[in-house]
Amino acid sequence: MGFEAGARSYMAAYNAMNGIPMTAQPILKEITIKEWGVNHIITTDAGSLDAMVRAHKYFPDLPTAAAGAIKVGINQFLDGIYKVNVTQASRRS
């Protein structure tokens, strides 16, 4: 179990697994919350929100990327651009 040492947070990686950026990877929620029963801080790395759009080309725009990150359990963003994009994502849904 990854949180036995008392960690209260972890950061999603920049890379992708099976073509899905880790910041949007469903395995974050599946393992951390469902398997381990831990609901602590899962954070983006700085720049990873933008990378899901520009580098990975996984999402068409930043609000959609923000929604995708939240859906898989991301609950803290290190990107300075997250506020406006999370707000826009919440207005879309």
Q: Taking Cα atoms as reference points, which of 48, 38, 91, 88 lies closest to residue 69?
A: 48
Q: Which residues carry out catalysis?
A: 45
Give CA angle at 41 (71, 22), nearest 5°. Answer: 50
Return the beta strands (E) in the chain as ranges: 9-11, 16-17, 20-21, 41-43
Q: Is 77 left (phi over 0), alpha (psi -120 to 50) or beta?
A: beta
**Token digits of residue 25:** 């990877």
